[in-house]
Structure 1
Amino acid sequence: MAALLINRDKKQLSEWIGKDCHFKLLYKISRDGCTPQKFHELCDNKGPTVTIFYNTDNNVYGGYASESWKSEGEWYTDKNSFLFKLYTISKWQPKIFPLKGGKTSNLYFDSGNGPQFEDLMSFENKVDSTLGNFSLNSDNMFESRYYDSKNEDAQSIANGHNNVTDMEVYLIKDGLPVSWRQSPAWEEQTLHTLKDSIRSFSPLKDSNVSEVNILLVGHVGAGKSSLLNTINSIFRGEISSRAWTGSSQHSLTTSFNKFRVRDQSSGNFLKFRLCDTRGLEESLGIKNDDIVYILDGNLPNNYKFNPVAAASSDINGFQKHPTLKDKIHLVVFVLDGSTFDVIPEGISKKLMDIREMIIDRGIPLLVFATKIDKVCSLVDENVQEVFHSQAVKEMVENIADSIAIPKAHVLPVKNYEREGCLETDVSILALNALKQALVFTNDFLENQCELLEKGATQLNVKD
C-alpha cells in the first residue's frame, strides 16, 4: 500500500528538521493494523521519526520525535521534537509548533500506546476501523500546553477531532540517498499526468499509422503477459487479467496476440497495441523465422505458434505485402531482473539473434526489467526506493552491458501480480516506461517516413 506523504511534504519537514532527510515508511495503520503491539514491533529503537495523521476532513498534521520510540513505560523529554500541520481541509498551510521553553516529559513511551506526544495523542490498545476510519485519542489535542500552537487550536488545525483515515510513521535518515536515475514524484498528480499523456498519444501523422505496434519478447516467466495485464489494469481502474499468467515450465502464451487497451474513463481504445508472443525457450518456443515475420508485419493477429516448426507464407491470413501500419514499431525485451544473471545460454543467444534482426530493420529496442521487488528487499517494501537501490542499479547495468544497449534504455517495472488493488507507485513506474516506449515508436515512424520520402525523391530524379 502506497505511502501518502508526497515530495512537497518531505521537503517542508526536512526544512523544519534542519537537514536533508530521507523518509522510510515504517508503520501505516491502514496496512499494519491499529495496535500498540504492531506499532512498537515496527518502530521501536529505529531512530528519529515523523508521525503523520490524515483525518477525515482532509487535515494533515503530526509530530517529529528525534528520539527512538520505546516500549518501556516512562515520560521522556525530547527538546528537538515539534508538532506541525501540513494541510487544512486539503489546503497547503504548513506551520510548525515548537516545544515551549522549559517544558519536559513531552513524549510517552509505553507498550500499551501508539506514538504519544503531549498535545497530540494517538491510540491506546487496539482501535478498529469503522468504514475505513479510525477514532484516535483527541484528549488535550493542540491545547498549547507543551507545544506552542501559535494562536491555533484543535478546531483550526484538525476541525476539532482526531478521526483519521490513516496514520503513518516514517523513519528519518540523515541525508537524501543518491539517486542513480531521476525519480518521478510519487504522487497522484504524477499518475494523472502520465495517464493523460498516454491517452493523448497519437502516431506520427505523416505515417498514416493509426495504432503503433509494440512487440513484447521475453523468456518464459519473465512477465510479458503480466505487463500487458498491468497496463490494462491501470486504464481499466482495477486489477484485470486479459492475458493468461502463472507459473509453468512452458509458455502459457501460445499465440501472437495484438492487444488493444481501452481507457475506461472515455471508452476509447488507446493508440497502441501490445503484441504478446510465445515465451522464449531453449528447445521449444518461438522460432527466429516467426520473429522475422512478426517484425515485418506478415503474421496475422491470433496466429497460433507451432512449437516445433516456424510459420510459413502458406498459413491462413499471411500478409504478403505488409505496409508500415502492419509492422512492429518498437520491441520491448521483458526480462526477469531477479534471474537475469542465470539466464540459460540458449535464451541469451536467442535474445541476441532477435537484437540483430531489430538492428537490421532500424526498430528501436527497450528493456523492461521486471520483478524488481525480488531484486531488492527495500523495493519490495516500498517501490519508491527503486532509483535509490544499488541492487536495482547493478541489475540495470548488467542487463544493459549484456544486451549492448544504453543504460537509459533499461527501465525497471513492477507488474501487478500479488496486489489486490491498484497502487499509485506501481502504476507510475509502469506508465513511465510505457510513455518512453511511445516516444520511441514515433522516432521509428519519423525515420521510416524520411526513408520513404528519400526513396520517392530518388525515383523522381531518375524519371
Structure 2
Amino acid sequence: MFYNTDNNVYGGYLSDSWESTGNWCTDQRAFLFKLYSAGNWKPVKFPYVIKETHFKNKTHGPWFYSLTSMYSFIKTTNKPSSNYYNLDTSSLFDGHRFDMKGETVQSVANGHNNVTDLEVNQVKEGSLDDELDSFWRDSPEWSPQTFQELKEFVANYKPFEETKITEVNILLIGPAGAGKSSFLNTINTIFKGEMSSRACTGCADISPAQKFRKFRVRDPTTKKHLCFRICDTRGVEEGVFIKSEDLGFLIDGNLSDNYTFQLDSEASTKRIGFVEEPTVKEKMHVVVFVLDGSSLDVLSAGVVSKLREIKSLVVDKSISHLVFLTKIDKLCNLVEKDVSKTFKSRDVEDAVNNAADVMALPRSQILPVKNYEKETTLNTDINILALTALRKLLVFADDFLENQYDWQQIDM
C-alpha cells in the first residue's frame, strides 16, 4: 500500500503466497485499489481481468504487473533529503491486467509515484471466513426433495386470480455487472436442465442492455411458459442511467418489450413502443434491486444515490421490492466451496447487513443469490438458493396485485 505526497493512498492485494520463484503468476482473487484521493475517502476496487497478475522475484518480494514499483524490501534504505521516495511510474495502473473502471495513474495517484511510505501487510485467514455455530437466518434443507418442491411451486404458480392476469412482471434494477441478466440465465438454466444464456451478460461497469427486455421462461415438461416475465434493463452506472421519466413509464407499463432507451433525450409518448393506456397486466408488479455482494463497500456515492432515488419512486408507486445479493461465492471461501453454507457464513451475513443499510430495507428483504457463472453443470444448492429467492419474488408480486384489487373494489 502506497502513501504518496498528495495524500493519495493506493495499492494492491494478492491471495497468493509470498514466494521468490522467479516467474509470473496469476491470482484471480488479486485486485488493485485506491482508498484516499487528496486526503478524501474515495475507495475503488479494480478487479482482476486477464492474464498474469504478479511476478515472484528471486531477490525480493513479489510485485504486481501494474505496480512495478513494489520492489518490497531490497535490504535497507534511507529516506532521501526530499522526504519521499521517487518510485517508477511505468505501467502504473495501466489497466492491462485489472479493470481500472476508467481511472488512470492521473486520477489515482496524480500522475506520479512519489511516496512517503509503503506498507506490506499480511491478511490472515480465519475469523472472517469462519463458519458460524448457528444459522444467521432460517436455512432450507439442501436436498433434492427441497429443490423439487421449490421448482414445482414456481412451475405451478398462478398470479392472484381476482386480477385475471396470466403472468406477473419482475423488474431487475442494479449496477452494471451486478448479475441481473445472469439471474434470468440461472432460472432458465434450472428449468431447461442445461446451461443457458438467453440474456447477454456484462462485467464491471459496462452494461450490455440498451433496451428494455421482457423474458419468459419455458418449462420443457409442459412446453408452456411459466407465469412470470423477468424484465431486464440498462444497468445503473456512474452518471449514466435512463431518464427518470422513462423509469416511471417503465414501471407503470407504458414501455413495451424491446423499447430502446434514448439517454440523451427526454421521454416521449410519441416514441415507437410506447403504450398510451397500460393495464395492470403491463405494469411492473415487483422490483428487485440486484447488488454485487463482493463490491458493496466500493459502490460509488453517485450509484448509491441513484439506487435510493429509484427506490423512492418504487415506494411512491406502492410496488413491492427487495434486494438480491449476488456473487456471494466471492465473499468467502466457505460459500465458494459449498453454497449450502450460505446461512452460516459470517461474511454473507455482514454483506446482508451492509446491503440493508445501503438500501434502507429490512434484512428479511435482502436475499443472497449465487448465479451460474463459472459452472458447466447444474448444482442443486445453487438451484435451491435461486428458487428460494424467486419464490419470495412471486409472493411479493401477489402482494402488489392484491393491494391493487382491494383499491379497485374501494373505488367501485
Shared fold (TM-score, shorter chain, > 0.5): yes
Q: Which whole-Å deviations, capped at 9, do the CAs of 1:267-320 have from their partners, x for residues lacking one?
A: 110000000001011223322222111110001111111232343111112111
Residue 258 of structure 1: aligned partner? 214
Residue 8 of structure 1: aligned partner? none
The code of the aligned residue for 1:404 comes to A
Q: Find 2:408's aligned residue among 445, 452, 455.
A: 452
8 Å Cα contact 2:253/2:279 also seen in 1: yes
Alignment of 1:123-202 (within 5 A): 177-202=133-158
Residue 313 of structure 1: aligned partner? 269
Residue 14 of structure 1: aligned partner? none
The code of the aligned residue for 2:282 comes to D
The code of the aligned residue for 2:374 comes to R
Partner SS for 1:325: coil
Partner SS for 2:146: helix
Matched, 1:356 2:312: yes
Q: Find 2:167's aligned residue among 211, 222, 225.
A: 211
Q: Find 1:291's aligned residue among 247, 259, 263.
A: 247
Partner SS for 2:281: helix
TM-superposed deviation, 1:248: 5.5
Q: What is the alpha-carbon distance in structure 2 between the residues aligned to residue 254 and residue 402 of structure 1?
A: 26
The code of the aligned residue for 1:413 comes to V
Provide the aligned C-alpha RMSD in A. Answer: 1.3
TM-superposed deviation, 1:176: 8.0
The code of the aligned residue for 2:253 comes to G
Partner SS for 1:197: helix
Residue 247 of structure 1: aligned partner? 203
Divergent runs of 4+, >6 A: none
In the superposition, relative to structure 1, how do residues 432 and 310 fare at CA in structure 2: closer, same or farther (>3 Å)?
farther
The code of the aligned residue for 1:314 comes to K
Q: What is the alpha-carbon distance in structure 2 between the residues aligned to residue 289 and residue 372 of structure 1?
A: 33
Partner SS for 1:257: strand
Residue 227 of structure 2: aligned partner? 271
Q: Find 1:415's aligned residue among 347, 350, 371.
A: 371
Alignment of 1:326-341 (within 5 A): 326-341=282-297
Q: TM-score when scaled to structure 1? A: 0.60
Q: What is the alpha-carbon distance in structure 2 between the residues aligned to residue 359 and residue 395 of structure 1?
A: 23
Q: Which whole-Å deviations, capped at 9, do the CAs of 1:155-211 have from their partners, x for residues lacking one?
A: xxxxxxxxxxxxxxxxxxxx9821000111111111000000001100011112111
8 Å Cα contact 1:237/1:264 also seen in 2: no
Q: Which whole-Å deviations, capped at 9, do the CAs of 1:382-441 have from their partners, x for residues lacking one?
A: 101110011100100111122111101000000001000110000100000000000010
Residue 139 of structure 1: aligned partner? none
Residue 436 of structure 1: aligned partner? 392
Q: Find 2:179's aligned residue among 218, 223, 245.
A: 223
Q: What is the alpha-carbon distance in structure 2 between the residues aligned to residue 455 and residue 331 of structure 1?
A: 26
Q: What is the alpha-carbon distance in structure 1 between the residues aligned to residue 193 and residue 213 of structure 2?
A: 22
Q: What is the alpha-carbon distance in structure 2 between the residues aligned to residue 176 and residue 409 of structure 1?
A: 21
Q: What is the alpha-carbon distance in structure 2 between the residues aligned to residue 419 and residue 306 of structure 1?
A: 36
Which ranges in structure 1 are unaligned for 5 or more consecutive residues?
1-174, 457-463
Matched, 1:374 2:330: yes
8 Å Cα contact 2:176/2:202 also seen in 1: no
8 Å Cα contact 1:284/1:308 also seen in 2: no
Alignment of 1:83-94 (within 5 A): none
Q: What is the alpha-carbon distance in structure 2 between the residues aligned to residue 203 and residue 440 of structure 1?
A: 11
Q: TM-score when scaled to structure 2? A: 0.67
Larger radius of gyration: 1
Residue 190 of structure 2: aligned partner? 234
Matched, 1:385 2:341: yes
Q: What is the alpha-carbon distance in structure 2 between the residues aligned to residue 387 and residue 176 of structure 1?
A: 9
Residue 345 of structure 1: aligned partner? 301
The code of the aligned residue for 1:356 comes to S
Question: Identity rate of aligned residues, in percent?
Answer: 49
8 Å Cα contact 1:289/1:310 also seen in 2: yes
Matched, 1:397 2:353: yes
Q: What is the alpha-carbon distance in structure 2 between the residues aligned to residue 363 and residue 183 of structure 1?
A: 27
TM-superposed deviation, 1:448: 0.4
Which ranges in structure 2 are unaligned for 5 or more consecutive residues?
1-130
Q: What is the alpha-carbon distance in structure 2 between the residues aligned to residue 342 and residue 438 of structure 1?
A: 31
8 Å Cα contact 2:171/2:287 also seen in 1: yes
Q: What is the alpha-carbon distance in structure 1 between the residues aligned to residue 404 and residue 202 of structure 2?
A: 38
8 Å Cα contact 1:369/1:396 also seen in 2: yes
Residue 87 of structure 1: aligned partner? none
In the superposition, relative to structure 1, how do residues 303 and 176 fare at CA in structure 2: closer, same or farther (>3 Å)?
closer
8 Å Cα contact 1:222/1:370 also seen in 2: yes
Q: What is the alpha-carbon distance in structure 2 between the residues aligned to residue 332 and residue 247 of structure 1?
A: 19
Task: Count the aligned residue pairs.
Answer: 282
The code of the aligned residue for 2:382 comes to V
In the superposition, relative to structure 1, how do residues 243 and 303 fare at CA in structure 2: closer, same or farther (>3 Å)?
same
In the superposition, relative to structure 1, how do residues 248 and 405 fare at CA in structure 2: closer, same or farther (>3 Å)?
closer
The code of the aligned residue for 2:167 comes to E
8 Å Cα contact 1:251/1:285 also seen in 2: no
